Each structure stands twice: as structure tokens, then as C-alpha cells.
Amino acid sequence: MATEHAHALYTLDRLVSLLDRSLAPSSSSASASSPPRDSLSRLRLATTITHAHELVNQLSSSSSTSSTSSSPGAQPPKEGPSLASYHATEQATLLTALTALSSTLKSSTLEFSSLLARDREVLSSAEAKLAASEGRMGAEGRRLEGVRRKGRGTTCATVGVLVGVAVLWVLVFLLIKVT
């Protein structure tokens, strides 16, 4: 029984720590711009995890006090039906606490799962929008490259015409002066 109890505490503590790490604030700016509904869900999940922490602490303290307590009321009787009733009471108490903790963890796990599903939807939507934007930017880049080439040709033609007009002006000037 003590080994099973210790294993249950270890497993529950691991689940709580995993949920804690999943709620840790990330360095990305996406968490700062999340909708208020997600913030409320994260707050509920954090409250549930806090409650789970308290239950784990209660279970661990109840197991340590029941095994190390020196008060006569907390120690199990040596023999007889009172020993069986003491163990039945302890098992019922532990079962109630573990049931409450497991239901709390289940609800927080389901909440976390729904948060992950919403995050996955947001990420896939953002990915699709980025892909479409990348396609449009590529097309605009090609169009602007064509405009740049035409602009370079127009500039060269304008300079050529100006040089031609200047040469003709000089020739006309010389022709007038010579004749």
C-alpha cells in the first residue's frame, strides 16, 4: 500500500510539473497577443494546477504524518477490529483525495488539450496566410523587376536623345557661324 501510494504521488507530481512547464510564459510575442478567451482558459488551468499542487502536498503530508506521527491518536492500533477500521478509514481518505486529484488533473488535461487544439488552428491559419503572402510578394517582386528594367531603358533613351539634341545644336551653331 505504501509503495502504491508513493508511486501515485510520484505520478501525480510528474503530471503537475508537466502541466506547470506547459503553462510557463514563452518568449514569443504570440502569447502576448492571444485572445482574452485563451487568457481566461489559461487562468482556469493555472488555478486547477494550483489546486492539484495543494492536493499532492496534502497527500504527501498525510502519508508522512501517518507514518511518522508520534501522537497516540494518529498511530494505528496494534491489533483487532480497530486496526482494520483505521486502515479502512485511511484508505477511504486517500481514495477520496486521489479521486479528487485525478478528476482535477483530468479536467486540466482536457483544458490543456483544447488550448493546444486552438493553438494548432491558429498556427495553421497563420501558416496559410504567410504562404499566400509569400506568393503575392514573389509576384510583386517580379513585376517591380520588370518596371526597373523598363525604367533603366527609358533613362538611357532619354539621355541618348538629350546627347543627340546637344550634338545637333552644336552642328547647327557651327553651320550658322561658318556660313
pLDDT value at 163 more than 50: yes
Domains of the chain, by residue range, sit at 2-24+34-66+83-143
pLDDT value at 18 more than 60: yes
Which residue has better confidence, 174 or 30?
174
Convert the pLDDT of each residue in 129-151 to its tens digit. Answer: 999 999 999 999 999 999 998 88
- Average pLDDT on 166-174 reads 95
28-50 in b/e form (b: 16+ CB < 10 A) is eeeeeeeeeeeeebbeebeebbe
The gap from C-alpha 150 to its chain's centroid, in whole angstroms, comes to 48
| Per-residue DSSP letter, 76 | P
pLDDT value at 32 more than 60: no
Which position has the grid cell 494518529?
74
Q: How confident is the model at residue 174 (pLDDT cuts 50, 70, 90)?
A: very high
Mean pLDDT across the chain, nearest whole number?
77
Convert the pLDDT of each residue in 74-122 to its tens digit. Answer: 566 666 678 778 888 888 888 888 888 888 899 889 999 999 999 999 9
